[in-house]
Structure 1
Amino acid sequence: MADRVPLDFDPPVRQIRALLLGVDSRDLTARTPCPEWPVAALLDHLMGQALVFTLAARKRTGDPGAGGGPPRPSVAGLSPHWRSRLPVLLADLAIAWKDPAAWTGTAQTAGVPLPATTMGTIAMTELVIHGWDLARATGQDFAADPRVLETLAEFLAQSPPEGSPGLQVDPSEEILLQTVALSGRNPAWRRPRHYPSAA
């Protein structure tokens, strides 16, 4: 029987890859729940994070991009080939975290070693929360496994105070919106009503 790993990256990766199909050129300048990032910068961030967390899972601390972390996300930094490149990076990420060895010992990003289980949970949080960001910014539906969300909500609730401050959580809300609030986002965020529909 194959070894089990704490978190399965396949579902959130499939979700984001599906969301990418609903992003058109007009969406790239649209606002997102991340105040300083339009959609293009969010996609740039996802590309950088996918690479960094893949290297972390594989313990490849000497590879380019592993030591200093990804550059600051920007519209200008988004690869013109993001439509073909980002799905590949996400698939590599999911494969890397399927290996039980990825979850053992320590893993490192930006020169900072952490317990591998913590690193994997951070990587999953990035995928799920930024998947929600992308869905909201482009007017698409989003769903996540409630069991995974419970893990992420517990993790975010224990984040140190010097990190991104979470918003007050309404315990009557569904677990997705609780998790989003704990990440510091407004669960009620929507793109403007006047936003043009995708072609």
Structure 2
Amino acid sequence: MQPEFDLSSAAAALADTVAAIGDEQLDVRTPADLSVRAILEHVGGLAEAFRAAATKEAAGKSAAPEFDSAATLAPDWRTRIPAQVKALAEAWQESPAWQGDTEAGGVTMPAAITARVALDELVVHAWDLARATGCDVEVAESDLEVLLEFLQDTPPEGTPGLFGPVVPVGTGAPLLHRVLGLTGRDPFWIPKAR
């Protein structure tokens, strides 16, 4: 089975966003109601988890992710996280990654679904970080189309442990806004004044 889509653009967008974050922004709240620091720590963990899912290393070994609001971010985060998301994208460029089932976060699912979850994590957390820190993030329209199709049946109450309740946006809204709304994000979220 050939790869259905390429995660490289989403990984690069997230890496660029990470590179633009200043140390003084690490405690800023994100649209996910977690600090930038906690999202960065989560992204590092999920990048490794979804890379291992692509290579099938995770079978029987993965665990549900934890969000630690008091996360201690390793000092090498500026270089480690971009390298991790690049490795994730590269792993999903291999045909065997898309075959059969795989495991991530303690959940076994078809590999093609796992790749979509990985894409969602890359895109949504890049937006979370960019929105919280005042950066711009460019998301490929092709990635948004994959995610919109994947997320279109999200129940209004969201998916516990993954997404908050759907934030309604018009059907004519930009693709990014529609994807964000389906993941429980308000596309117009702005940081609270300090």
One-letter amino acid of the structure 1 residue matched with residue 28 of structure 2: A
Distance in 2, Cα, partners of 1:62 & 1:116: 12
User: 2:66 maps to which residue?
Assistant: 71
What's the RMSD between the two structures over aligned residues? 1.9
* Alignment of structure 1 residues 1-199 onto 2, 5 Å: 4-35=2-33, 37-61=34-58, 66-159=61-154, 163=159, 164=163, 165-192=165-192, 194=193
Q: Could you list the runs of 5+ residues in structure 1 that have no partner in the other structure?
A: none
CA distance in 1, matches of 2:29, 2:57: 34
Task: Name the CA distance, whole Å, in 2 between partners of 1:62 and 1:183.
Answer: 27
CA deviations 1:2-26 (Å, max 9, x no partner) are x841121111111111112211111
- Relative to structure 1, the CA distance from residue 120 to residue 48 in structure 2 (aligned partners, 3 Å threshold; closer, same or farther) is same
How much has 1:179 moved relative to structure 2? Answer: 0.7
In the TM superposition, residue 185 of structure 1 has moved relative to its aligned partner by 0.5
**Shift in Å at residue 191 of structure 1?**
2.2
- Where 2:26 maps in the other structure, the secondary structure is helix
Deviations 1:133-172 (A, max 9, x none): 1110110112211122122012112235661232212112
CA distance in 1, matches of 2:104, 2:54: 10
Distance 1:4 1:107 in 2: 16
Between Structure 1 and Structure 2, how many residues are aligned?
A: 189
Structure 2 unaligned residues grouped into runs of 5+: none
TM-score, normalisation: structure 2: 0.89
Identity %: 34
CA contact (8 A) 2:10 2:143 kept: no
The letter of the residue matching 1:104 is Q
8 Å Cα contact 1:52-1:69 kept in structure 2: no
What secondary structure does 1:33 align onto? coil
Deviates more, 1:3-12 or 1:97-106: 3-12
Matches of 1:185 and 1:29, distance apart in 2: 19
| 1:123–1:24 distance in 2 versus 1, CA, 3 Å | same
